[in-house]
Structure 1
Amino acid sequence: MVDTRPLGRQPGSSRTVSRAVSAPGSFATGMSGVPEGAEIDLDLRLEAVMEGVLVTGTATATATGECSRCLDPVSEPVEAGFQELFRYPSDDDLGPADPVDQDDEDEDYYLEGESIDLEQVVRDAVVLALPLSPLCRDDCPGLCVECGVKLADAEPGHGHGDGVDPRWEALRQLGEEPGDR
């Protein structure tokens, strides 16, 4: 939660906030993520506008996971930018909602008293910034498809037989000259 009282609901006023927070839960995709409890550094600029408070910021964390080619552990920094308007609750918001406007209101964020809850905004930004296929290095050769050994650790020329798939043998024989058999 970020306190907005120093802005005083005066459009045009602004302030910057920097803080480190712990990830409230795992922010993850299939192969990488920011584990629960990991430190996330937030650099925020809060600006009071007529409708509410505009929050612009970056979240910086360390993502961990496994290489998508060789499955070795990977750790890399992730930086995610975001900008979101947190609206002031109005008296109109207290009555029954118009069904047409209900969908639009679900996408809006609102101040909770004089505080802003950034958890969902930060979660969305960080998860979108995570690598979908992390690599331990750009030229990672991966694993051998036959035996599963790491190709980076295998001897030069690592291979298995002639490499012809036995399912294609009958087709290969059709292409041979009658006297070649």
Structure 2
Amino acid sequence: MTDETALVPLAVPSEDWSDPWRHPELYSAVTMRRVMAYAVDAGIVLGITGMMWFAMIFLGLLSFGLLLPLLPLVLALVPLAYHIGLIAGPAQATFGMRLFGLRVVSISAIPHGFGGRPTPIQAIIQIVAFYGSVTLTGGLVLIVALFNAKRRTFHDWLAGTVVVTLPADATT
């Protein structure tokens, strides 16, 4: 299954699938699910970061401290690699998102078309904008999601993505 249709498992109901008023099932409880999914993802990232920290300390000791300056870089790349790799991947969701029935969908016409998988560039923009905006505003920027029908956040707008609830009959 290497054709493009295999990369777009989201069942698109019609051309106007992105209209939250015509298809509320795609946007049902997205905000709360995103919060719970992020809590799961934060735990996973924390676990991976802890393992990487111990591995880097061990390698640092073996190298007589020469590799220790790489520790902050490696630790900063863990959450970025986790989110970018999974959001731009075939499942279009992190493990937390999968657990709560969510998927990140590109609403850009390029390259996969509407309802398609986010590109790696979109995933990078989304994650860097998420961490940057949340850090700078103390999380207040996430309130934007409460004031639009699609529950899109600032980083969703910048990346050209939207998070939807998977239809009940969709496969993950």
Q: TM-score range by the shorter chain?
A: under 0.3
- The alignment's TM-score, normalised by the length of structure 2, stands at 0.20
TM score, norm. by length of structure 1: 0.19
Question: Which one has the bigger helix percentage?
Answer: 2
Q: Compare the two structures and name the one with the higher strand fraction.
A: 1
Question: Taking CA–CA contacts closer than 8 Å with sequence separation of 6 or more, which of the two structures ends up with the larger relative contact order?
Answer: 2
